[in-house]
Chain A
Amino acid sequence: MLKQAIENLGNRTIQGVWRIGFAARFFVAILLHSGTAFRRFGLTIREMYFTGVLSLIIILVSGLFVGMVLGLQGYETLQRYGSESALGTLVALSLVRELGPVLAGLLFASRAGSAITAEIGLMKATEQLSAMEMMAVDPIARVVAPRFWAGVISMPLLAALFSALGVFGGYLVGVRLIGVDDGTFWSQMQGAVDFEQDILNGVIKSVVFGVAVTTIALFEGYDAPPTAEGVSGATTRTVVTSSLVVLALDFILTAIMFRGLN
């Protein structure tokens, strides 16, 4: 009984290390085989339609609502201290620095990441990937790399749209609904949000999240057991793992970027 448990634990640990090593090799293989994704850019554009354009609705609507909630709650707290003029700063800084990249990353993982895993897992289960190899087409170059670059390009655009719509939502609630002064809202925001320190760091964050989420999604699909059960398990793992990785990476990046700032 105990021996069995220890054996299981050891087996799982070894399997985990094995998977991490394979994932790292997989990531390097994607980078090495990226040539096709750029030479035949049509492939990447096709994937950008599925990962980027089809994620637009959920990103735009969530961004708008997150911004509106920030406007309401921020006003509620700030007016206690008589500084509701700082509402623009609060909404813009929290969106551009944290909420934009992180929430867009989480939504991207559940909207596009799960789809990528299911698609590639099913391709593997129905032996389409092996068929390509038989025809001397490298599936990494033909299937995986275009999806990777599509995700990496789409993610910062989605995060920027999320932040922009969020600021607009905060403006709608703060200025139009509650009646914070229009001029102070924008000028305080512009005074506090710095292009290099805040916006550029937010974009860097979203690129990192894009790389992480797409790599995890592609790897889980590629590594999925070729059964219906295996694909469904891999899809779940994609969403769980990439959400956790996005949050953990966000903490690390924030610690690096914004430490030492006020």
Chain B
Amino acid sequence: MNRTVLDLWVGLFVIAGVGALLFLALKVGSMSTVNSADSYEVVADFQNIGGLKPRAPVKSAGVVVGRVADIRFDNEKYEAVVTLRLDKRYAFPKDTSASIMTSGLLGEQYVGLDAGGDSVMLKDKDRIMITQDAVVLENLIGQFLYGKAQEGKAQEGMPK
């Protein structure tokens, strides 16, 4: 069996194809699925998660430190249980607070972590105690109107 020009072309084709796959893997996509080997999971309960979805980023100080692994509904406490998978490189104090925020006006929702001051760090399967729910626009408007109405009443009641 001899080498032919054909082999050269097919070889080039295969190299180009594998190169395209590498380009897609490295430049277009990111290996964002954090492996379970170098990550740990913490749980946080929320009254309302708004539009949070699995795979949404978990950010601290704007840097992505993990992803939302799972969202369940606790039928005893009637709360949402969100499992966060965090990168092992980042450790957070035990009294870290988690809040659900929105990037931009119409952007996706993510979980923001604010580090606390505790000297004990969060471990695998720990629970984040301080959480802040997603802001629901209807509730916000409702509160605003209620506040306005109260203000009006207070002014009426004042002696002239």
Q: State the A residues within 8 Å of B (CB).
A: 42, 45-46, 48-49, 52-53, 56, 81, 83, 92, 96, 154, 156-158, 160-161, 163-165, 167, 186, 189-191, 193-199, 202-203, 261-262
Contacts and interface: CB of A to CB of B under 8 A. Distances in A.
A81 B106 contact: yes
Contact of A156 (B17, B25, B28, B31): B17
A46 B29 CA distance: 33
B77 to A, nearest CB: 25
A161 B23 CA distance: 9
Given A96-B24, A196-B33, A158 B6 contact: no
B106 A163 contact: no
Nearest to A63: B20
Of the candidates B14, B16, B20, B28, the one having the most CB atoms from chain A within 10 angstroms of its own CB is B28
18 contacts: A45-B7, A49-B13, A52-B17, A56-B16, A83-B106, A96-B24, A96-B29, A157-B16, A160-B24, A163-B24, A167-B23, A190-B27, A193-B29, A194-B30, A194-B55, A196-B33, A199-B25, A261-B55
B63 interface: no
Interface in B25-54: 25, 27-33, 53
Given A53-B12, A164-B24, A186-B27, 17 more contacts: A48-B10, A48-B13, A52-B17, A56-B13, A81-B106, A83-B106, A92-B28, A156-B21, A161-B17, A164-B23, A167-B23, A167-B28, A190-B30, A194-B32, A195-B32, A199-B21, A199-B28
A194 B33 contact: yes
A42 B1 CA distance: 8
A77 B66 CA distance: 31
Interface of B: 1, 6-7, 9-10, 12-14, 16-21, 23-25, 27-33, 53, 55, 57, 64, 106
Contact of B20 (A81, A161, A191, A193): A161
B17 A191 contact: no
Nearest to A158: B17
Contacts of A199: 21, 24-25, 28-29
A160 B20 contact: yes
Contacts of B9: 49, 53
A193 B30 contact: yes
Given A49-B6, A186-B27, A199-B25, A157 B20 contact: yes
Contacts of B64: 191
Contacts of A83: 106
A111 B32 CA distance: 36
